[in-house]
Amino acid sequence: DSGVTQTPKHLITATGQRVTLRCSPRSGDLSVYWYQQSLDQGLQFLIQYYNGEERAKGNILERFSAQQFPDLHSELNLSSLELGDSALYFCASSVGRGGIDEQYFGPGTRLTVT
* 46-105 residues near another protein, rule: CB under 8 A: 48, 55-56, 58, 90, 92, 97-100, 102-105
110 close to 9: Cβ distance less than 8 angstroms: yes
25 part of the interface to another protein, by CB under 8 A:
no
Chosen residue from 20, 45, 52, 86 binding another protein by CB under 8 A = 45
- Using DSSP's 3-state secondary structure scheme, residue 105 falls into strand
Q: How far is the CB of 16 from another protein (least distance, A)?
A: 28
78 close to 85: Cβ distance less than 8 angstroms: yes
Phi, psi of 93 (to 5 degrees): -135, 155
43 part of the interface to another protein, by CB under 8 A:
yes
